[in-house]
Chain A
Amino acid sequence: GAVVSQHPSRVICKSGTSVKIECRSLDFQATTMFWYRQFPKKSLMLMATSNEGSKATYEQGVEKDKFLINHASLTLSTLTVTSAHPEDSSFYICSAQPGSGNQPQHFGDGTRLSIL
């Protein structure tokens, strides 16, 4: 149980393109989803917290207009990297939390984004 599917797993595109990444909880409802960015051989950096039906809460230093987050249902959140540039290349990971409070987060397999 508690499976989170992230799609696509890898994307390569040209600079200036917008890229959408989907995060789905397959067998549970996730009131909260999280988006992380991971640089090579580094830890995960929380970008934003997404609650169903409301605006995402972004961490300090994360550009809201660059990284658009939509959490339209209890099983789907999307991250759109707008007008992507080479410096946006990274490994993006989502997680979903069933219920609230002390429930552990369940992670997707990540998306490797490469901007040429």
Chain B
Amino acid sequence: GNSVTQMEGPVTLSEEAFLTINCTYTATGYPSLFWYVQYPGEGLQLLLKATKADDKGSNKGFEATYRKETTSFHLEKGSVQVSDSAVYFCALSSQGAQKLVFGQGTRLTINP
């Protein structure tokens, strides 16, 4: 079945550091890939997405590239801020399917 594996957290960085959160997936066909962010006590917000191989999703300084050859969708940001502290979820949805399959989430804390 489909699955998503994320880098285990928690991750703690200093402000302005470079961020990478790894995400790999297992799926048949060509799934769509997503990164969601969850701030404390809130629901999830779509951060970025990519729907086909080699697509790059980007938003708020975050980027992720859909790599079919390595079945990965790693999240990166060049310079993190304290306000980026949250839990990040990688997810996929299969072609023609509506369900999202989530990774386990990675808690990110940015210290000033």
**Which residue numbers of A lie inside 8 Å of B, CB to CB?**
4, 6, 32, 34, 41-44, 46, 49, 93, 95, 97, 100-102, 104-110, 112
Contacts and interface: CB of A to CB of B under 8 A. Distances in A.
Interface of B: 32, 34, 36, 41-46, 49, 51, 89, 93, 96, 98-100, 102-105, 107
B104 A6 contact: no
By secondary structure, the A interface counts as: strand
Contacts, number: 53
B98 A97 contact: yes
Given A43-B103, A44-B44, 18 more contacts: A34-B100, A41-B107, A42-B104, A43-B89, A43-B102, A44-B89, A46-B99, A46-B100, A49-B99, A95-B100, A104-B34, A104-B49, A105-B46, A105-B100, A107-B36, A107-B44, A109-B42, A110-B41
Contact of A102 (B42, B45, B51, B89): B51
A110 B43 contact: yes
A38 B42 CA distance: 11
Nearest to B51: A102
Contacts of B42: 109-110
B67 to A, nearest CB: 19
Contacts of B107: 41
A42 B105 contact: yes
Nearest to A106: B46
Contact of A44 (B45, B93, B98, B102): B102
Contacts of B44: 44, 93, 95, 107
A19 to B, nearest CB: 18
A86 B93 CA distance: 33
Contacts of A109: 41-43
Contacts of B34: 104
**Top 6 closest A-B pairs, CB basis?**
A107-B43, A107-B44, A109-B43, A110-B43, A43-B102, A43-B104
Contacts of B51: 102
B31 to A, nearest CB: 10
Given A44-B89, A102-B51, A104-B34, A32 B43 contact: no
